[in-house]
Amino acid sequence: MTDSLRDDPYYENPYPEEESSYSTHIVPRRFYVFLEVFMAMLLNFLIFLGFRYLIPLLPASDYRGLIIFSAQLISIIISTVLALIFIHFVFYKSNMPLKKAEPPLKETSSLFTFKKIGMQILFTFLLLFLVYIPLDFLTYALPGGLEFSRRSLLSNGTWGINAYLNFTQIGPFLLYGILLHLMVGVREELFFRGFLSIRTEKYNNVGSSVVISSIFFALSHFTYIFYSSEIRYDLLPAFVWTIGAFFVSSVSAVFILKTRFIWPIILAHTINNVISSSVLWLNSIQNVDFWNIAKWLYLPLLSISILLTIIFFGEVKAGIKSYFTAFQSYKTELTERKTRYKTILADIIFGILFWAIGMWFI
């Protein structure tokens, strides 16, 4: 695969001898990404707008929220496919500063491969136990973390999607939670990693792809603070939740750009969300003290995390190296410091811009 920075049609001479000229194309490169992402978000908004007229017709039911979220999932899948088809005929076949790769739709659909299934299962467990579970434990261990999570999820549960957190029976709670979070995993990973990270990397370096998509994902979690009735007390938990979301997103972005596997991050995301919501449910509905939950749930899970780190130390070490190499790409591919700083600033601005628009369209 060629490098978009070095093979950019804007340049007449090989990169990095003409690196200084790259600074004049920082915004255009990201604007192309913006056009692609905005198209997907706008299509999603328009498609789901049709579903909104059907929602009032749904009968009252404890599982009504699942049907509504199914519509949201279908909407994001259709809008992503249509956007990728449009990108293929308008951008992919034109003289754009793109890395050479498979056609957009084919490339994204190939992420859902079942090849090397054993390796994908291993990656699922490593992501779950070394990234998701430790972060969730730290988030909930923070004073006010559990309370903020519950308040924000229920307040933001549009059309009662998160009403299952108030179920009193464990069976319906788990059934609803597993189905819901599997759809959440597919929806978020398809859009943020399978679409946004992959498409951003086609115009920019790996670091830019990771930063832009992770800022968008992290701020979409910070948005929950706006639903809090206790903003003064929830600011710290919301900030910690946002930092954690950025880290999870950046790890997932690096992972998918490196491996081209999406199922491990979907499954790790899904399983962790089920565990996380179970902790909320046990604490608020069953009145189980968090530290009792931690003793019987998180302590065994974190023990497995340590064990996996020891057994698969080589894979863990390689993953950590890949993670930092992604951010190092700012330095290795943009040796001119002034250009590098402008690039990082542009990535932050566009990440925030995507989030500001995405709040209304996805």
What number is the average pLDDT over the span 101-107? Answer: 88
Q: Can you give the pLDDT at residue 15?
A: 34
Task: Return all residues near 27 (Cβ < 8 A) that are at least 6 apart.
Answer: 346
Nearest CA to 245 out of 222, 270, 268, 271 is that of 222
How is residue 128 annotated by DSSP?
Answer: I
In whole angstroms, what is the distance from residue 134 CA to residue 114 CA? 27
What DSSP string runs through 139-159? Answer: HHHSTTHHHHHHHHHHHT-GG
| Predicted TM-score of the model (pTM) | 0.91
What number is the average pLDDT over the span 258-264? Answer: 97
Dihedral sign from CA coordinates of 132, 198, 101, 7: negative
Alpha helix stretches (DSSP H) within 223-284: 231-259, 263-284
Write the secondary structure of 27-58 as one string of H (helix), E (strand) and C (coil).
HHHHHHHHHHHHHHHHHHHHHHHHHHCCHHHC
What number is the average pLDDT over the span 182-210? Answer: 95
Separation in Å, CA 137 to CA 87, 141, 295? 40, 6, 11
Amino acid at 114: F
**Chain segment 31-73, per-residue pLDDT in tens:** 989 999 999 999 999 999 988 888 878 888 888 889 999 999 9
